[in-house]
Every structure is written in C-alpha cells, then in structure tokens.
Structure 1
Amino acid sequence: MIEIVPIDTPSLGDRSYFVTDGEVAFVIDPQRDIDRVLALAEERQVTVADVFETHIHNDYVTGGLALARATAAAYHVNAADPVAFEHDAVSDGDVIEVGARMRVRALATPGHTFTHLAYVLEAPGRPPAVFTGGSLLYGSTGRPDLLGPASTHDLVAAQYDSAHRLARELPDDAEIFPTHGFGSFCSATQAQAEASTIGQEKRANPALTLDEKDYVETLLAGLDAYPAYYAHMGPANSAGPGAPDLSEPPRADAAELRRRIEAGEWVVDLRTRTAFAAGHLAGTLNFGLDGSFATYLGWLVPRGTPLTLLGETPEDVAAAQRELVRIGIDRPAASATGGPERWTGGERPASFPRASFGELAAVRHHRPVVVLDVRRDLEWDESHIDGAVHIPLQDLPRRLDEVPDGEVWVHCQGGYRAAVAASFLAAAGRRVVAVDDEYGAGVRAGLPVVAAA
C-alpha cells in the first residue's frame, strides 16, 4: 500500500511530501529542517531512496541536498538547472524506479520557472498521483513573475500550457499534490481545497476553464508584492545549501539587549501581539510566532542584520530558529527568555493600547487621528477607509517619516501586520494604537469606505 504523507509548513504556506510503499520512500520538495523527514522514515522503518525537486525554489531554502547526503539518496534535479552540486540530472519523460513497486515519471511543466518539473507516481492498484510543485495548484497555479518582469509574459503562457498538458496526459482520477497554494506568495491565489484530482481541476481551475487570454489577464491582474527575501532563495538553492544549525543561540542579559537595540540591531519579541502591546522592552519589534512570522520578518529585515530573539520559553526561541533557517537566516546573534520584566533590567516595560474598528469610528467623531493602513496594494485598491494613509507594511521601516504627525491608529486585514507596524512606530517614539480587528468590522462600525469601482 502506498502512503503519501504531507509535511506541512503553514508559516510559509508550503507542503513537502513523504511517499512510501512500506519498504522504501521518496521525498518531494523537502524543507530545510530535514529532521521532520528523517523522523518519518525512522517511525516507518523505511529507507529514503530518492529526493526530487520540482524546481529551484523562490520562497524557501531547500533541504534536498542535505537530505540526500544524510540518507545516501539519489537527488533528482532538472538537467537544465545550473546547480553547483552533484545530483541526478532528470529531464522530461525520464522514469525513476523507486524500490520494486513505485515508478516516478518526470513531466516538464514550465510556468512557475522555466525548468519546472512535475512528477507522476505510478504504482500498481491505485490511480496516478502527480506532484505538481508550483504548476497546477488547488484551484490556481503558481505565479509566473518571480524571475522578473522580462520573463513574466513567457512564463504565464507556459503555465497555461503546462496545466493543459497535465489535464491532457493524466486521467481524471489522478490525485494532485502541489507544493504551493497554502499561503505561499509563490501562488497566484490560495488553495480552494485540501485535496483534488485532475477531473476536479478541469471543472474549477481557471487555467483549465478559461481561454488563454482570459486566464493570463486574470492571473496577472491578481499579482501583488512578494517578500524581498525571495531574491536570495534561488541563488542559495542553486549553490547547494547544507543542513541548518539549530543549536541554542547565546543568551543575552538586559544590558546586552539594550546595547544591541542602541546599536541598531533588531531585537525581536516573539510573543503574541496582545502580550507585546501590554508590556515590552522599549525598542523591540513584535513578530509573533502565532502568525506568518518568518514571511514578514524575512521580508522586512535588511539581509545580514543581527537578530536577537525574545521568547517566553526556550521552545519559542527554537521554533523561531526553525522558521528562520527555512529562509536562509541561519544563526540568531543572541536570545533571551522569560518576559519584559527580565529583559528591561528593572525599568518599567513600554506599552501601547489596542482597539477595535468600532473604537476607531467613535474616536474620529471627537478628535483627529492618523489612520494608517499597512495592507498590500491590491487590498487597498479593493477597499479602504476614507482619509487613511496607505503604506504597505513591507515599506514602512524606510518610510516612517511619511507617517503624518499625531496619534497613529494602525490597521491591516486581521491584526497581525498592524501589530508589527505598531511596534516599529512605537520604537520610533510615535504615539500608536494597534487596531486588532477584522477589516470588515470597520464597515459595520460605520467608517466611511472607498471601494473599487
């Protein structure tokens, strides 16, 4: 019996896959922290024989090379990818026998990248399964613009053709297992299901229901900004990243934390936005582990800036390290655990208020405040509060001086990005209120909204 085990990385919106027939296993698109894969192999008492990359990833550092080295597995990468490490070069149509019962066939599916491959699993007694990486996703496709605007037109046309190739060459009951689509910015839109087949996608996926012109126009119109750290992922993956160092970083006391803040380093508080607003070490920045921590920290932090992590427990710091190595931030400069009373060295913790959109609506009747919207451009274009100032979160650190004087009420779509923004504003000495509420509540509260025509 074939078992396909998804390995979710929800903070980055991706899935890897561990596939076994009970004797051997192969892995598709492993993340950097390969201990999760090794634990599955040990638990099932199987050998990892093969590791496959669907493409040179843009949103995370692969664990493929490290996993292949750790298990003596064959490492399959497209022959056309200019990588700097030893590997098994595969091309369209190649078939790899994995053990005695599993065959994996490579299919060229360019679109997300020029050299993208899908892998079709063929095994006795079951429909084919296709690991589609960043090509055909659940109700969507991978975005075609990550290699730059000069390539986008060619890639979006190729993505359409690839989706149709999969639909044409595979039976309707073939199961689909994409890498992207679960929150990753590599997806044009996010997954519309938790499982799917070729037949289901033929009925619902825009790449298969629209004509090419409409598909291209619709997909391109829906693309927005993607994290700045993506620029570093392709080169790192082509060079061949090794296994990460997840050992505990050096501990910092209150004096060292203050010194690092004053030196312009980033001291990051991993606690929830509620806890941070109630009390924190002045000058720290809040990227809570309960949200898209790695995505937004990796997006905003200047590459190479020393990072110090503050968590309630050593386990919180370790979880943050694991998230960061996935995007190539390998070693925090220092860490501290406990809470602000320990981190401030006896000083009173800083704080700022949180509020709802209803409270924002009420306060605007009585006094002027600055309303700062830190959502992305497409969100703003769709609808925004009349009179608000718009600075997307990823631009805020370098545009703080554009925030008008006065008390700033900062909001996003659900609260997480607003909390990050509020911590930057507070660190800069601004009077800030974090709107910790769902954007739709603003309309219900009577705030005047400008909507797209």
Structure 2
Amino acid sequence: MIEIIAIDTPSLGDRSYLVEDGETAFVVDPQRDIDRVLDLAQVRGLRITDVFETHIHNDYVTGGLALARVTGAAYHINAADPVSFERTPIEDGDVIDVGPHMRVRALATPGHTFTHLSYVLEAPGHAPMVFTGGSLLYGSTGRPDLLGPVHTGELVKRQYASAHRLADVLPDDAEIYPTHGFGSFCSATQSDADRSTIGREKRVNPVLTQQERDYVDELLAGLDAYPAYYAHMGPANSSGPDAPDLTEPKTADPAELRSRIEAGEWVVDLRSRTAFAAGHVAGTLNFGADGSFATYLGWLIPWGTPLSLLGDTAEQVADAQRELVRIGIDRVEAAATGTPEAWSGDAPLGSFPRADFGELAMVRHHRPVTVLDVRRNLEWTQNHIDGAVHIPLHELLDRLGEVPTGEVWVHCQAGYRASIAASILAAAGRRVVAVDDEFDRAARTGLPLSAG
C-alpha cells in the first residue's frame, strides 16, 4: 500500500512529500528544516532511499542535499542544472526504482523554470500519481516570470505545452501533487482546492481549458510583484545548502537592543499587531508571527542586515527562526522574550492608534489626513480609496520621502501589512494610525472608491 504524506509549510504556501510503501520512502522537494522529514521516517520505520527535486526553487532554500547526506539517499536533480555539488543527474524519461513497489518516471515540464521536471509514480494497484512541482497546480500553473522578464515570454508558452503534455500522457484519474499553489507567490493564481486529478484539471484549469493565446494573455496580465528574497534562493540552492543551525540565539538586554537599533540593525517584534500598537520598543519593527512573517520580512529587509527578534515566548522566537532559515536568513544576532517594558529598560515605549475604515471615514469629514495604501499594484488597480497615496509595502522603505507630512492613516487588505508599514513609519518618527480592518468594508462606510 502506497501512502503519500504531505508536509505543509503554510507560511510559504508550499508542500513537500514523503512517499512510502511501508518500508522504503522517497521525498519530493523537501524544505530546509529536514528534521520534519526525518522525524516522520523514524516514527514510521522508513528508509529514505531517494530525494527528488522538481526544480531549483526560487521561493525557499531546499533541504534536499542535506537530507540526502544524512540518509545516504540518491539526490536527483535535472542533469542540465549547473549545480556545484555531487548529485544523481536525472533527465526526461529516466525511470528510478524505489524499493520493490515504486517506480518514478521523470517528465520534462519546463515553464516555471527551463529545467523543471515532474515525477510520475507508478505502483501496482494504483492509478499513476504525478508530482508536478511548479508546473501544473490546482486550478493554475507556476509563474513563468521568476527568471526575469527576458525569459517570461518563452517560459509561459513552455508552461502551456508542459501542462498539455501531462494531460496527454496521464489518465484522467491520475492524482496530482504540486509543490506550490497554497498561497505561494510562485503560483500564478490561487485555488481553494486541496487535491485534484488530471481529469478535474482538464475541466477547471485555464491552462487546459483555454487556447494558448488566451491563457498567455490572462496569466501575464495577472502577475504582480514577488518577494525580493527570491533573487537569493536560486544561487543558494545551486551551491548546495547545508542543514540549518537552529541553535537558540543569545539573549539581549535593553542596552544591547538600543545599541543595535541605533546602529541601523533590524530589531523585529514578533507579537501581534494589536500588542505592538499598544506598546513597543521605539525603533523596532512589527512582523507578527501570526501572519506571513518570513515572506514579508524577507521581502523588505536589506539582505545581510543584522537581525534580532523579540517575542512573547522562546517558542515564538524558535518558530520564527525556523521560518527564517527556510528563506536563507541563517543567523539571528540576538533575541529577547517577555514584555516591551522589560526590553526597553528606562526608555519610554512607543505606540500608535489602531482604527477601522468607519473611523477613517469620519475623520476625513473633520480634518485632512493622508491615507496610505500599501497593497500591491493589482489590488490598487481593482479598487482604492479616492485621494489615497499608493506605495506598495515592499517599496515603502525606499519611498518614505514620498509620504506626505502630517498624520498618516495606513491600510492594506486586512491589517497585517498595514501594521508592518505603520511600524516602519513610527520608527521613522512619523505620526501614524494603523487601519486594522478588511478593505471590503471601506465601501460600506461611505469612503469614495475608484478603480484603475
């Protein structure tokens, strides 16, 4: 009996897979923190013999090489990928026997990258199962633009052809297991589906229901910005990343924290946006552990900036550290847990108000305030508040000088990004109010909205 165990990383919108027959196992697209895979294999009494990469990932640091070294497994990467370490090269059409019951066949499916491979699992008594990585996703496909605009036009057409190849060579009951598409920025669009088959995708996926030109035009029109740290992931994965060091960082006292802030380092508060607004160490930035912490921190931080973490508990800091190593931020300089009063010493705490869109509507009737919208470009184009200033969150640090003086009410789609932006503005000495509300409520408050 073959069992496929999905190992979710919801903060990055990705899945890895452990596939086993009761004794032998292989792994597809493992994340950097390989202890999750090793723990599963140990509990189940499995021997991992093979590790497969569908592509050189752009959104996280792989754990494939480290996992292969620990387990003695063969590490399969496309023979065409220019990596700087020993691996077991694999090409289109190659078949790997994994134990006595599983055969894995490689299929070239370029589009997300030029060398992308999908892997078809064939086992007695089972319909084929295909691990599609960043190729065919649930209701979508992987983005074709991550290798730069010069390649996007070619890759999007290859993505279309690859999806049709999978649909042509596999039966309708073949189950698909993508790596991306669960909130990952590697996905062209998002779907709520949690499982699918080739037959279902033929009915619902635009890449299989539309003509090529319509698919290409629609997909390209829907692409928006992706995290800046992606630029570092491909080189890291090609060089062969080691297993991460998750050793607890040293504890910082108030004097050290203040010194680090004054030196221009990042001291990040992991607490909720509600707690941060009520009181925080002046100069710290709020990337709450309850949201897409690693994605947005990795997107905004100048790469290589020393980083320290503040959290409610040691567990919160440890979880954040695990998130960071997945995107290649391996070193946390220092940390502290507890309360902002303990972290600040004798220095006064910073704070700023929180509000909803109804309060913003009332305030605009009485006095002029700047409304700062930090959503991405496609969100702004769909609908925005008349008169608002638009600076996407990922551009805010470089464009602070464009934020008008005076009182700034900052909003996003649901409040998380607004809190990050508010903390940046507050650290820069600006007078800010964080709108902690769903943007869908803005129209019901009487705020005038426009599209385009």
Q: How does 1:90-169 map to 2 (within 5 A)?
A: 90-169=90-169
Counterpart of 2:414?
414
SS of equivalent to 2:295 = helix
Q: Which amino acid aligns with 2:168?
A: R
Q: How does 1:345-356 map to 2 (within 5 A)?
A: 345-356=345-356
SS of equivalent to 2:141 = coil
Q: Which amino acid aligns with 1:389?
A: V
Aligned residues: 452
> Sequence identity of aligned pairs in percent?
77
What is the CA–CA distance in structure 1 between the aligned matches of 2:89 and 2:26, rounded to whole Å? 16
Q: CA deviation at 1:349?
A: 1.6
Q: CA deviation at 1:139?
A: 0.2
Q: How does 1:41-440 map to 2 (within 5 A)?
A: 41-440=41-440
Q: CA deviation at 1:126?
A: 1.1
| Long gaps (5+) in structure 1 | none
Q: Which amino acid aligns with 2:209?
A: T
Q: Which amino acid aligns with 1:88?
A: T
Q: CA deviation at 1:191?
A: 2.4
SS of equivalent to 1:399 = helix
What is the CA–CA distance in structure 1 between the aligned matches of 2:339 and 2:346, rounded to whole Å? 12
SS of equivalent to 1:365 = helix
What is the CA–CA distance in structure 2 between the aligned matches of 1:298 and 1:22, rounded to whole Å? 39
- C-alpha root-mean-square deviation of aligned residues, in Å? 0.6
What is the CA–CA distance in structure 1 between the aligned matches of 2:328 and 2:441, rounded to whole Å? 37
What is the CA–CA distance in structure 2 between the aligned matches of 1:10 and 1:327, rounded to whole Å? 14
Per-residue CA distance 1:172-229 (angstroms, 9 max, x = gap)? 0000100000111111011241110000000000000000000000000000001111
Q: CA deviation at 1:348?
A: 2.9
Please, which moves more after superposition, 207-216 or 338-347? 338-347
Q: Which amino acid aligns with 2:419?
A: A
Q: Which amino acid aligns with 1:391?
A: I
What is the CA–CA distance in structure 1 between the aligned matches of 2:379 and 2:416, rounded to whole Å? 15
Q: CA deviation at 1:24?
A: 0.7
What is the CA–CA distance in structure 2 between the aligned matches of 1:67 and 1:22, rounded to whole Å? 19
Per-residue CA distance 1:41-99 (angstroms, 9 max, x = gap)? 01101011100000000000000000000100000000000001111100000000000
Counterpart of 2:4?
4
Q: CA deviation at 1:347?
A: 2.8
What is the CA–CA distance in structure 1 between the aligned matches of 2:165 and 2:151, rounded to whole Å? 21
Q: Which amino acid aligns with 1:183?
A: G
Q: CA deviation at 1:398?
A: 1.2
Per-residue CA distance 1:305-362 (angstroms, 9 max, x = gap)? 0000001111111001100000000010111111101001033321111100011011
SS of equivalent to 1:112 = coil
Q: CA deviation at 1:428?
A: 0.6
Q: CA deviation at 1:160?
A: 0.1
Q: Which amino acid aligns with 2:405?
A: D
What is the CA–CA distance in structure 2 between the aligned matches of 1:353 and 1:4, rounded to whole Å? 48
Q: Which amino acid aligns with 1:448?
A: P
| Long gaps (5+) in structure 2 | none
Give the TM-score of the pair, scaled to structure 1. 0.99
Q: Which amino acid aligns with 1:307?
A: L
SS of equivalent to 1:77 = strand
Q: Which amino acid aligns with 1:210?
A: Q
Q: CA deviation at 1:401?
A: 1.1
Per-residue CA distance 1:369-393 (angstroms, 9 max, x = gap)? 1000000001001110000000000
Q: Which amino acid aligns with 1:366?
A: H
What is the CA–CA distance in structure 2 between the aligned matches of 1:261 and 1:78, rounded to whole Å? 44
Give the TM-score of the pair, scaled to structure 2. 0.99
